Amino acid sequence: MATARVGACLLVAVMCLSCGAAAAARSPEARMHRHLKRLNKPAVKSIESPDGDIIDCVHISHQPAFDHPFLKNHTIQMRPSYHPEGLYDESKTSSADGEKPMVQLWHQNGRCSPGTVPVRRTKKDDLLRASSFRRYGRKRHTVANPMSVDPAMLNEGGHQHAISYVQGEKYYGAKATINVWDPKIEQPNEFSLSQLWILGGSFGEDLNSIEAGWQVSPDLYGDNNTRLFTYWTSDAYQATGCYNILCSGFVQINSEVAMGASIFPLSGYSGSQYDISILIWKDPKEGHWWMQFGKEYVLGYWPSFLFSYLADSASMIEWGGEVVNSQPDGVHTSTQMGSGHFPEEGFSKASYFKNIQVVDSTNNLKAPRGLGTFTEQSNCYDVQNGNNGDWGSYFYYGGPGRSSNCQ
């Protein structure tokens, strides 16, 4: 009997330990640890940026993209089969103000070696700011639909835009030189960004979108730095896609430029102006959508299988700014778009996009035809198109948000 009682006690103890271990594995702390392990791959080298970021140099075949089941046996494309024709036409890309070279802040403390890719390390605090681990690195919003008859419908979720756009043809890419600023953000859950959108499908639940530009997002990054970013979705931001490389999808090949890292230097009001150049195009041979940063850095690609409509071509291209207006205290946010100044203030005061182009079916870069503009509330954020010999097709955009005319 005594032996039986001892055995029973031992069994209960083992069961309790097992229950405790299972409960610990399900705890928020354990789930956070597992999620961080999925996001942060083993590093060959780590570099601490002056802004507090840690950039991990990860072996190119160990990057987050390869968590995708379709990419398990994927052979990395180390270069696109084709670049768009006319990419280095200096008559289109030169400008009187003398575009200055751009770098990222972490470059001040080191570089990643060939064969590795720089990945901004996700920290515990990043996950704690998110509404859930599952939603971290994802966004909920509608893309500006200039064809809507009711602009109020486009302010769903508090997102507001000031954009130029083209639609009505098949587009195989887009390019722009984007003026870079550090707009002020009123609330941590708001952001301000300037980007280009490659869009396919309708504006319902089937929307495909590839996006790239710069953003200030305290909620995502934990600070007010201006950062290079990308985004993609194949189902209107419901279950697919993410910022940067916070999920499987985008395949990075470049060792120099980190998605989500701080851009340096930035433009100043009535001071020096700094730009970044972004090109996204569809490789006519492989079908992947490639991204290039500046004249030198081909960053990587979104594999064609990620998309339905964009597996063929885009039906609309948009360029411009977007902010979140959470209406703090029931009034319009003072979160700035662009430089925080209206288009009519012009160069060195208002933010701009210049040399905006599309890639046509013959893989040629050309000026967009029938360029339109759209904004939900032009008294808060506005946009004005222009064209000249130095800048090609361009526009100024942005605004301060809340003011005497914007309530």
Query: Which amino acid is present at 39?
Result: L
Give the dihedral of Cα atoms 242, 247, 250, 253; nearest 10 deg. Answer: 130
pLDDT of residue 4: 58
The answer to whether residue 18 scores a pLDDT higher than 60 is: no
What pLDDT is stored for residue 44 in this prediction?
96
Return the exposure string of 229-253: e unless at least 16 CB atoms fall within 10 Å of the residue's CB, then b.
Answer: bbbbbbbbbeebbbbbbbbbbbbbb
Mean pLDDT in residue range 181-193? 96
- 93 sits in which H/E element: helix 90-93
pLDDT value for 226: 98
Q: Which of 135-149, 158-172, 316-330, 341-355 has the lowest mean pLDDT?
A: 135-149
pLDDT at position 15, please?
54
The yes-or-no verdict on residue 52 having pLDDT over 70 is yes
Whether 136 shows a pLDDT value over 90: the answer reads: no
The pLDDT tens digits for 255-313 are 999 999 999 999 999 999 999 999 999 999 999 999 999 988 999 999 999 999 999 99
Q: Which residues are catalytic?
A: 211, 322
Mean pLDDT, the chain, rounded, equals 88
Structure tokens at 118: 């720089």
Kindly tell me if the per-residue pLDDT of 57 is higher than 90.
yes
Least-confidence region, from 24-28, 88-92, 186-190, 196-200: 88-92
Distance (Å, rounded) from C-alpha 271 to C-alpha 81? 40
pLDDT range class, residue 71, cuts 50, 70, 90? confident
Q: What percent of the chain clears pLDDT 70, i.e. is strictly above it? A: 87
What's the 3-state SS for 27-70? CHHHHHHHHHHHHCCCEEEEEECCCCCEEEEEEHHHCHHHHCHH
Q: Determine which of 9-18, 89-98, 118-127 has the lowest per-residue pLDDT on average.
A: 89-98
CA distance 171 to 317: 8
For residue 12, the model assigns a pLDDT of 53
Per the DSSP assignment, residues forming a β-bridge with 282 are 289
